[in-house]
Chains A and B, each alone.
Chain A
Amino acid sequence: MADGTTFEYIVGHANYWLFSVLMMTGLYVVVARGNLVKKIVGLNMFQTSVFMLYISTGKITGGTAPIFPTDMKIDPAVVYSNPLPHVLILTAIVVGIATTALGLALIIRIREEYDTIEEDDILAAEKLMAAEDDKLHGESMGGRA
């Protein structure tokens, strides 16, 4: 591959690069952060990266917004972008909002019960509860997992 085409390859796929970087960042935040709210933030980044992936594929070079004139006289020379990915993502955004709201609501309840939103502290508290269960009801195996 000549240098020019390599460059074009990289720039021409900018949306995919962005998608991959954002998606991996989001997933990393979900896995690596111990704070429950930060996990939700990571989850949001992860979902948003997918929204960008979809919407960027709907764009057609030189395409305009897919709204027909009210008199329905459609000029065949005009290129319209593909509206379908936008519609799909509108639904996915609503799902994302619902997930975020529910996640945050759960965090509030967890904080009321455990007095913390750090995963390490919660795990420690649950380990104590499990140890107590074991003492009361006999040893078990598998634990939280």
Chain B
Amino acid sequence: MATELTPHAAMSLTEQLPVLQVLVPFMAAPLIVFLGSRGLAWILAFGTSAAAFVIAALLLGQVLDGSVISYHIGGWAPPLGIEYRIDAANAFVLLLVSGISAIVLPYARESVASEIPRRHHTLFYACYMLCLTGLLGVVATGDAFNVFVFLEISSLSTYVLIAQGSHRDKRALTAAYDYLIMGTIGATFFVIGLGMLYMATGTLNMADLADRIADQGANRTVVAAFGFIIVGMGLKAALYPLHLWLPNAYTYAPSVVTSFLAATATKVAIYVLLRFMFSVFQPTFLFEGNTLEFLIIPLAVLAMFAASVIAIFQTDMKRLLAYSSIAQIGYMLLGIGMLSQTGLTAAIVHLFNHGITKAALFMGVGALVFRAGGSFFDRIQGMGKTMPWTSAAIVLGGLSLIGVPGTAGFVSKWYLVQGALEKGWWPVAVLIVASSLLAVIYVWHIVETLYLKTPAKDIAVGEVPNSMLIPIWIMALACIYFGLATDITLGAAQAAAKGLLAGSSGMLH
């Protein structure tokens, strides 16, 4: 861009990391299609996911001390150019997304082979990589419109991935269609909000937006933009009354897709909500404080109870877990709504912990489906005897879902309760514990089905292949590990929460 002729200092590979994070999986998608080889497709997908995970870990290491990395795409400096901006909050989410992908893919090999026709495999992996690219891009970028573009890349590929479930149940098609309609409405609301912000401020760079909104204060355009962005992202995050697309999408999608999406897609939407609430709009604005306190918190509590109660009465394990996801999103929003260091830390830790817990559980169900051919309770009952390893991993995931001490779920709920008590909201603390009791009921339902009933007669006996079992167990052990060794997740989450609560550091970096 620059017109001066000073010699250019070559950038090192470390400086290129922010763009490589998104670029590596992005390049994999067209390569898979271009080579068109079924064997290479999986190798490329797994290799790039693993590389993305390494990059995310390196990035997190650089920003844990609270510093910010700014990468200028095409050499154009922000606020005019597109900026990738990595701080503790998004490096942590990048690590979660790329990590889940790297663990789900080895599992995918057998599961995809059993659920999706062979001729679709290369395109399936290409779509999967595009979805990963989109999710990583949403998190990495510091440009508000870029968020929309990456969001649509991930959403469009998600619709395709969900529709792949139609080879097992044709309802996957209508689930994908419903999600397409609602997801597009959500994304368009988000763009309307961005348009209003652009009208009010004349910029789209998030840090610059924050500066200019802080300067001019809240006017009606900014407030309207806030409303549109919250509703749009709320749809993507399955915020309670906007969750209607989620149960069917998760139930009928292929097991691999459900495992990946449940652990990452809604979490990324929550991250965008966080980013906009704290780094773009000022949390001190009255309208935002009011929205959080009088809208988000009641809805979050409602989600925790209503979705948990519905989960108890399900006869399909996948659908049960889908409703439980909606309830767990309530916990995260509750933490955000507290507007305090502890609450925000709890929300971010729960985002991570719930991601690994749900990945373990959905991969476990996928393994049961692999043998039993369905996830209805009367199909999978008694599988605790025929598939002891898978069932044990599911139980570990279930314990983490309840929040039993010693598991990852406990850490985040503990912080959530603490956050509520700090604020003096003891009824909320009681509600959190009470809704965990609901989780006990539905997790017990799973355990009872797996261990205390006799298996159906026509089911193939035996464990799933090791390539599926090992990823499930990595996730299940992670649920325990992050419940005992809390300093990694809590440290990163505390750094992230501190960075977010400090508001935007503006364009100074």
Chain A positions near chain B (C-beta within 8 angstroms):
23, 27, 30, 36, 39, 43, 46-47, 50, 53-54, 57, 85, 88, 91-92, 95, 98-99, 102-103, 106-107, 109-110, 113-114, 122, 126, 129, 133-134, 136-142, 144-145
Contacts and interface: CB of A to CB of B under 8 A. Distances in A.
Given A126-B171, A140-B315, A102 B180 contact: yes
B173 A137 contact: no
Interface string B155-191: 0100110010010001101101100110011011001
Given A47-B188, A114-B170, A136 B378 contact: yes
Contacts of A27: 185
Contacts of B156: 95, 98-99, 102
A11 to B, nearest CB: 19
Contact of B181 (A39, A54, A91, A95): A39
B248 interface: yes
B85 interface: no
A8 B466 CA distance: 73
Contact of A43 (B181, B198, B315, B316): B181
B358 interface: no
A142 B247 contact: yes
Nearest to A43: B184
B195 A57 contact: yes
Contacts of A30: 181, 185
A29 to B, nearest CB: 11
Most-contacted residue by chain B among A23, A106, A136 (CB, 10 A): A106
Interface of B: 145, 148-149, 152, 156, 159-160, 163, 166, 170-171, 173-174, 176-177, 180-181, 184-185, 187-188, 191-192, 195, 198-199, 204, 244, 247-248, 310, 313-316, 319, 323, 376-379
Nearest to B310: A142
A141 B310 contact: yes
B247 A106 contact: no
A107 B199 CA distance: 37
Contacts of B181: 30, 39, 43, 103
Contacts of A99: 152, 156, 180, 184
Contacts of B163: 106, 109
Contacts, number: 104
Nearest to A130: B171
A69 to B, nearest CB: 18
Contacts of B313: 139-142
Shortest beta-carbon contacts, A-B, top 8? A141-B313, A137-B376, A140-B315, A113-B170, A95-B152, A142-B310, A138-B315, A106-B177
Contact of A106 (B145, B171, B180): B180
A104 B349 CA distance: 40
Contacts of A113: 166, 170, 173
B145 A88 contact: yes
Contact of A138 (B174, B247, B378): B378
Contacts of A144: 248
Contacts of B315: 133-134, 137-140
Given A88-B145, A106-B176, A144-B248, 7 more contacts: A43-B184, A57-B198, A91-B145, A95-B187, A99-B184, A142-B247, A145-B247
B177 A46 contact: no
Contacts of B177: 36, 103, 106-107, 110
A136 B171 contact: no
Contact of B316 (A85, A137, A145): A137
A110 B316 contact: no
Contacts of B176: 106
A36 B314 CA distance: 29
Most-contacted residue by chain B among A92, A107, A114 (CB, 10 A): A92
Contacts of A107: 177
Contact of B199 (A57, A88, A110): A57
Given A103-B177, A110-B177, A140 B316 contact: yes
B492 to A, nearest CB: 33
A85 to B, nearest CB: 7
Contacts of B244: 145
Given A110-B173, A144-B248, A92 B180 contact: no
B149 A142 contact: no
A140 B377 CA distance: 11
15 contacts: A36-B177, A57-B198, A98-B152, A99-B184, A103-B180, A106-B163, A107-B177, A109-B166, A126-B171, A136-B376, A137-B377, A137-B378, A140-B313, A140-B314, A142-B314
A53 B192 contact: yes
A85 B195 CA distance: 9
A23 B313 CA distance: 39
